[in-house]
Structure 1
Amino acid sequence: MRGRSVARLWAVVMTVGSLWANWPQWRGPNSNGSTGTAHDLPVTWSESQNVLWRTKLPSWSAATPIVWRDTIFVTSAEEGFTPLRGGGRPGQTTPDKVFLLALTRKNGSVLWRRQIDDGNRLFRKQNSASPSPITDGGHVWIMTGNGKFACFTMDGGEVWKRDIQADYGRFGLNHGYASTPLLGGNRLYVQVLHGMHTKDPSYVFAVDKATGKTLWKVERPTDATSESPDNYATPQMAIVGGKPQLVVSGADYVTGHDLDTGKELWRIGGFNPTGNRANRTIASSVVIGQNVFTSSTRGHPFIGFRTNNLGADVPTPTTDGKYIYVLVDNGIINCLEAETGKVVYQGQRIENGTYSASPLLADGKIYCVSEEGTTTVVKAGPQFEVLGVSKLDSLTLASPVAADNQIFIRTADHLYCIQKK
C-alpha cells in the first residue's frame, strides 16, 4: 500500500511492563520487537561463521520462533511449498498437516512435535502456520490460519483444543488469517477482523488460558468496505487511565476494550479519509508510554502528530522508548522521536530487497532481515550507521528474535541459532 504514515494517538496509555528474559510471544517480552536483556550479539555471520547450529524445518512460515529458557517453539506445515511473490495460487488448500515443534536451544534438535491442523491453505507469502506460538513458561498456545486453537504443556501434552471457525463461522480475509493471540494474565485475546470475503461481523474474544473456554466475545463493527476491514495484526495491551485495556487497531479504527467484558470503551477513526477500499492492516501497533503508534493512510485530524509517507505496510515498527524505528517494505529505515514525532532521520536505505519481517531491537542494534535472507544490522540511536550485512540460505518471511547472547532467524528451510564464536 502507498502513502503509509505513522500516527500517534493521544491517550493516557502505558505499556504493561514485563521482566521476562525470554521471547515469549510474537513481538517479544515488551510486545514491541525489543528486548533489554540480550547482550554480546554479533553483527555479521555466514553459513560458516557465528552460527552455533541450524536445524532443517519441514516447511516455510512467517511465524516467529519463540524462546523460553532452553526451549524454542516453531510452527510448520508438513511439506514445503515456496510462496511466489505477487503470484501463487491464493486460497489453495494442500493436504499438509500443520505442526507445533519444540526444539532444544543446546543444538536445535527436535524435542517433540504435535499436529494442530490437517490442512494448509496458501496465500502467496502466507500459510496456515503464519500465527506465532505464545508461552508463559508453563504452557504453549498456538492458533492456525484455519482457526485451530490449542494449548500444550511444555513437554507436549495436549491440554485443550478448539476450532474457532466451527464455533464462530469462516474467516473472510483476502489473504487468510494470520493474527497471533495476545497473552495477558490468565487470558488469551484474539481478534478476527475481516470483510473481504464475508458479510459476517468482525469480533474480538477472550479465552481462559487454562481451559480454552470463551470468557467473552463482542462484535467489533466498522463501516470499512471491501478489503479494508481485513486485519492481520495482533492486539496490544495498554493501561488507560490507570486501568489495563485491550487495544485493537484495524478496519479504519483503533478501539479500546474492557478486559473483563470486551466492552468497547473508546474508538478513534479517521484513518482512511479517502475511503481506500484496500486499506487492510498488517503491521501491529506499538504502545510507548502514553502513546499508541499505528500505521495509517493520510489524514488524522485528531492525532497528536502524523508523519506522512514514513510508515510501513507489512513490518511492525520497533522502539527503545525514546525512538521509533520504522522499517519500510522496500528497505528504507526512518527514525522518529517517540514523544514528539520529530523526524530524527529518514530515507536511509539498507540492503536492497523486500522486507516482510519486522525489525528486532536488541543489544543497541536493529536487525533487519529481507525476504532474500540478507540481514542488515543498524546502530540504534539518532545517528544512522550500518554495522554489518550478512546472508543466509533462502527466503525469509519470519521476524528475527533474540534471547541472551543468541539470535534466532527462521528462513524457508532452516532455523538458525546465531552466536559469537
Structure 2
Amino acid sequence: MIDRIAQLRAAGEADVAAATTTDELEELRVRLLGRKAELPNMLRGVSELPPEQRGPVGKAANQARQALQQTLEARIAELAAGELDARLVADRVDVTLPGRREPVGGLHLITRVRREIEDVFLGLGFDVLEGPETETVHYNFDALNHAPNHPARDRSDTFYLAPSANLPAVERAGDPRAEDGGSGRLLRTHTSPMQIRTMEREDPPIAVIVPGRVYRPDSDATHTPQFHQVEGLWVDVDITLADLKGVLLSFARSIFGDEREVRLRPHFFPFTEPSVEVDVSCFACKGTGIREDLAGHPRCGLCKGTGWIEILGSGLVDPNVLRSVGEARGDDAYSPEAVQGFAFGMGIERIAMLRYGVPDLRLLYENDVRVLEQWA
C-alpha cells in the first residue's frame, strides 16, 4: 500500500507540473484530493488495517496529501500570476480614445451662440455685463432719447407691469402711455438700459456688451415674445464710424467666416446719430446672390439674391444720450465735446438662425429633442 501511495504522489506531482491553466489545476485538485479521490480514501481506511501497518501507511498517506496540496498551491500561484498579466495586456484601455458613453446633454443652441458672441467681444477688449430684466420707463426709454410719443412706448410694443406690493414704487417719468396708477416698470425691450447704468457708474473709457433676455409682444416665425439680445457700447476719445465698422467686421468674420465683408446702410434709431444697419456678405452664395453650387444657378434664398444679409443695428451714440448721462452724474465726464462712442445691438436667435440654417425661430423654444440634438 505504501508503494501505491508513492505512485499516486509521483503521478499527481507530474500532472500538476504539466498543467497549463488554473482550471486544469482545479480539476486535478478534485481528482487527487477530493472526497472520492483514492489517496483521501486510503487515509480514511487506515483504521481498518492491521495495527502494524496503520502507522507507516497513515504517515505515508498524510505526507503524500500534504505534498500534493503544497505542489498544487505553488503551481496555482504561478499560473494565476501569468494569467493576470495576460488579462491586463488584453484588457488594457487606451485612455486617448474618445469615450463611447451616450451623450448626456449639451448646450442649447441659443446658449452656444451667446457664448461664441461673448468670446469674440472679450477678445476685442469688451467686458460682459448683465442687468435687470424689469426696468423703469426712464432707463428703457427716456435716458435713451425716445420721444414721449415714440411708438415703442405703446402697450402693443411693450409689456408694462401692474403695480404690486413686490415691486418698488417709482415715478412714471412722464410716460403718457402708462395709465393712471401704473407702476412705471416694464419688461425691458432691449438690453440698452445697462449702457446708461454703466456710464452713470463708471468713468470713460468703457467698452461693454450686455447679453440677456428681452421682451416684446411679437409672435411669428421670426419673432417671439421673449428673445435674447447682445448690445454693445464703446465710449472713448475720437471714436468714429470707422471704429464701429472695424469691430463689427472682426465680429462678422469670427462668426460667419474669414471671407465675410460688412456694409453700413443709413437708418434711424432714437439713441444713435448717425444710425446704420449692418449687413454681412452672404456666406451661402459668397456675396454673389447666385448659388453656383446648385443646378441651374438659382437665386440665393438666404440673401434673396442681394448678396447681403442684415444682422444688426448700430450707430454713434447720440449726443443727447451723453448729455442725459452727464446730468445724472452731475459732471462733464461724458460731455459730447469730450468723448464719443458707438452702440450696436443684435438678436442672438437671428445670428443662430443664420449660422445654423434654422427655418423657424419657434423651433428653438419647442423643446423637441429631435430638433435640439441636431446642434448638441
* TM-score > 0.5 by shorter chain: no
Structure 1 or 2: more helix by fraction: 2
Shorter-chain TM range is under 0.3
Structure 1 or 2: more strand by fraction: 1
* TM value normalised by structure 1: 0.21
* TM value normalised by structure 2: 0.23
Q: Which has the larger radius of gyration?
A: 2
